[in-house]
Structure 1
């Protein structure tokens, strides 16, 4: 007896969409996508429901960055897993309190995402944060002793780095940011914030 019904298409998760968004942002940052192409693909991305709909969004971008991503993921498994912070017409916040390292991400799409590392201990491998603000905001709070490297592209938006990069021997936090009609703010934890 054979079954003539094909299996339903696999549904895409928020984490799947976030990985594709990071690839699209990387392609925009290194010039493989123009601003209008990036916006159109991001719009299509957040409307996807299945894996089959995700594939065409990055099919023509090659594998640049994907091999690096796989190596980083294998080398830097987070001690405390920090889920992607995605705020769509809402606000979200994460405040890890243990040891952290590896990749994190925050997306503010007509919303506000906050990643607060003021109570976390950044492992020697450091942290890489991907931040995208599309008509929204991403606020990143870093420990007082962290070395911060913010790179990115404001497209009719704003990137607000910390006033100073931090001590040379401090834990490293690299932030790749894209602000499209939105804002990404990075600031150091103040003592009064830590007391709350």
Structure 2
């Protein structure tokens, strides 16, 4: 993602898809959608990649719109030249969008406070390596991320089931290696609400 990306082309999170599914259910209950229309639109919403995809199933429904509180649950970490880093105590929303032309990226989630159990990390890196450090118990999905010239190294411990938090990495680095590993430090407990929320 970059500063000039139109809002309609921004990638959506699980929370946004779930919000639209709830809106569609209300429209079905109100009689504005037939069961077949509801099923078709729900399929589009669940497969949505961008905000335009989500808005397409709501555009003709009065009072149904994407909630700004959910749609804006994005942390943008951007630069042009130079390294980008987050570590220590920081708040992780549903989507972390990282954009840089040249520079390495390191996101250390060990001591972070997550606002949701599912997080999307959206990479738009020109040239540079990406290091993601996960807290113990977290899992990662690397199926939708690409490294043009470079490797994708998953050094996390194998998990039999989805962990908490679960981080989906999407986007790409055009020239660089993406490495994901678990922290060797224990994840601290946050008195204000545990590790999540």
Normalising by structure 2, what TM-score?
Answer: 0.55
User: May I ask how many residue pairs the two structures share in their alignment?
Assistant: 141
2:155 corresponds to which residue? 162
Q: Tell me whether 1:67 sits opposite 2:52 in the alignment.
A: yes
Counterpart contact for 1:111–1:135, Cα < 8 Å: yes
How far has the Cα of 1:73 moved from its partner? 6.5
Distance 2:10 2:94 in 1: 20
Aligned residue for 2:137, secondary structure, equals: coil
* Cα gap change, 1:158 to 1:126, in 2 (>3 Å): same
Q: By percentage of residues, which structure has more helix? A: 1
* Cα gap change, 1:193 to 1:172, in 2 (>3 Å): closer
How far has the Cα of 1:146 moved from its partner? 0.7
Counterpart contact for 1:107–1:113, Cα < 8 Å: no
Could you say which structure has the greater relative contact order, defined with CA pairs below 8 angstroms and 6 or more residues apart? Answer: 2
Aligned residue for 1:190, secondary structure, equals: coil
Deviations 1:78-116 (A, max 9, x none): 4xx74x223433112112625533110223422112211
Q: Which runs of 5+ in 1 are unaligned?
A: 1-13, 27-62
Deviations 1:135-171 (A, max 9, x none): 2122211111112111222222222223335453422
Q: Which runs of 5+ in 2 are unaligned?
A: 13-47, 56-65, 189-197
* Cα gap change, 1:160 to 1:87, in 2 (>3 Å): farther
Q: Tell me whether 1:178 sits opposite 2:172 in the alignment.
A: yes
Distance 2:51 2:127 in 1: 27
Report 1:5-16 matches (<5 A).
Answer: 16=3
Counterpart contact for 2:110–2:185, Cα < 8 Å: no
Aligned residue for 1:75, secondary structure, equals: helix
* Cα gap change, 1:88 to 1:116, in 2 (>3 Å): same
RMSD of Structure 2 on Structure 1 (CA): 3.8
1:50 corresponds to which residue? none
Aligned residue for 2:157, secondary structure, equals: coil
Q: Tell me whether 1:134 sits opposite 2:126 in the alignment.
A: yes
Report 1:68-87 matches (<5 A).
Answer: 74-75=69-70, 78=73, 82=75, 84-87=76-79
Counterpart contact for 2:118–2:165, Cα < 8 Å: yes
* Cα gap change, 1:126 to 1:72, in 2 (>3 Å): farther
